[in-house]
Each structure stands twice: as structure tokens, then as C-alpha cells.
């Protein structure tokens, strides 16, 4: 697998894990606080995740994190 494709997959995995964690947090919160149960939490999560500013923040965070890790690995001496 080309290194660029591996980086793209890493960024995509980080975004998916962030979205899944937010689903758990919002779902538990909605289940505990509302009468609608966890399905109401899914609707709140879906509305939250669908916002372009939230998606942009998740993508930017993943790209910066992986860029920093990649940069740090290049600076280390190879043994």
C-alpha cells in the first residue's frame, strides 16, 4: 500500500473514531436526560455531526495530528 494512501486511511480512521465516541457520549446523555430514549440521542448526534464546522474541525484535527506524528518520526535517528 502506498504511504499516502496509508496516511489517508489513518486520518479517516481517526475521524470515524471521533464521530463514534461523540455518538456514545450524546447517546448516553440523551438516554439519561430525555424521555425519548437513545433514538433521540441519535438524532441529536446526527444533527451535530452533519454540521460542516464540526466535520471541518474533526478533519483538521486529524490532519494536524498525523502530520505532527509523521514529522516527529522523520526527525528521529534510525537505529
Q: What is the mean pLDDT of residues 18-24?
A: 86
Report how far Cα 35 is from the mean position of its chain's Cα atoms. 28
- Residue 23 has a pLDDT of 85
Report whether pLDDT(18) > 80.
Answer: yes
| Cβ atoms < 10 Å from Cβ of 26 | 21
Digit-coded pLDDT (tens) for 33-48: 766 665 777 888 888 8
- Residue 35 has a pLDDT of 67
Q: Is the pTM of this model over 0.75?
A: no
| Cβ-contact 31, 38 below 8 angstroms | yes
Amino acid at each position: 500500500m502506498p504511504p499516502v494512501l496509508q496516511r489517508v486511511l489513518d486520518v479517516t480512521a481517526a475521524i470515524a473514531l471521533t464521530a463514534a465516541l461523540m455518538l456514545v457520549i450524546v447517546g448516553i446523555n440523551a438516554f439519561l436526560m430525555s424521555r425519548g430514549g437513545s433514538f433521540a440521542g441519535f438524532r441529536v448526534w446526527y444533527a451535530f455531526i452533519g454540521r460542516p464546522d464540526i466535520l471541518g474541525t474533526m478533519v483538521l484535527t486529524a490532519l494536524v495530528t498525523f502530520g505532527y506524528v509523521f514529522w516527529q518520526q522523520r526527525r528521529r535517528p534510525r537505529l
